[in-house]
Amino acid sequence: MFTGIVEEKGIIRSLNINGSSGTIRIEARKVLEGTSIGDSIAVNGICLTVTSMGDGFFTADVMAETVRRSSLGSLSQGSDVNLERAMSANGRFGGHIVSGHIDGTGTVRSLLREENAIWVTIETPPEILKYIVHKGSICIDGISLTVASVGSDNFKVSVIPHTGSETTLLSKRPGSPVNLENDIIAKYVERLMNYKEEENNSSSGITMEMLAELGI
């Protein structure tokens, strides 16, 4: 589990995608502290498993589902990425519950300055937008942010100077893709509600329709 509090920006040193899967090598420092092979690191919000590491770098495998769901395929050697280690049991919960499992991508539509903050507008499809609520939480490229506004096909966040300097978000341009992970609580609530409906629909009780089908 992650919290969406980015620890540092890393640099992609190699990204080898053959077909729809491959490997990635990332230059980093802070997230390597206390990290072992097999541990998880969120890369732009994508939970990846460390397969090897050395002085100032780590590597990870990238599976086809990750490439399909995320913006990883749009990155290249030299791209900056947001990094966060999985939360330790004694860590502080600074953001919100983030699984590192990307729901899909959005597209940056505009960046507009308002005094010391930057308003970022992101367009995203209905299947993601339906979980986004005003003043709720959203994870954008691994960054835990508060939703400031929700439109018919987009939402907005306001980025403070510290977040802007510590992450890659403000380096994006209109048209840039970003990874999105919705608040997992909303998805659990939806699943429980749908499950109850499915359970009711599959009730084993005798109905008039069942009797008619049997010719009774």
- 77-123 confidence digits (pLDDT tens): 999 999 999 987 777 778 898 999 999 999 999 999 999 999 999 99
**Average pLDDT, rounded, for the chain:** 91
Domain boundaries, the chain: 8-85, 104-200
pTM: 0.87
Residue 6 in this model has a pLDDT that exceeds 70: yes
CA dihedral 48, 60, 79, 29 (to 10 degrees): 90
Note the CATH number of domain 104-200.
2.40.30.20
H helix or E strand, kind and range, residue 68: helix 64-69
Q: Which of 162, 180, 170 is nearest to 124 (CA)?
A: 180
- In this chain, the answer to whether the domains covering 8-85 and 104-200 adopt an identical fold is yes
Residue 78 tokens read as 């030299």
How confident is the model at residue 193, as a pLDDT?
A: 83
Percent of the chain with pLDDT over 90: 75
Domain range 8-85, CATH architecture: Beta Barrel (2.40)
CA dist., res. 139 & res. 97, Å (int): 9
